[in-house]
Amino acid sequence: MYLKLVKSKNYTYLKICESYRDKGKVRQRVVANLGRLDILQKHGLENIVNDLAKFISSEKLKNYKDIS
User: 16-68: per-residue pLDDT in tens?
Assistant: 899 999 999 999 999 888 889 888 888 777 777 777 777 777 755 565 555 44
Measured between alpha carbons, how far is residue 24 from residues 1, 20, 27, 35 in Å? 19, 9, 9, 31
Q: What pLDDT is attached to residue 40?
A: 86
Nearest 5°: phi and psi at 29? Answer: -140, 155
Residue extents of the structural domains in the chain: 2-67
Q: What pLDDT is attached to residue 13?
A: 94
Q: What pLDDT is attached to residue 59?
A: 57
DSSP states of 26-44:
EEEEEEEEEEEHHHHHHTT
Contact 38, 12 (CB under 8 A): yes
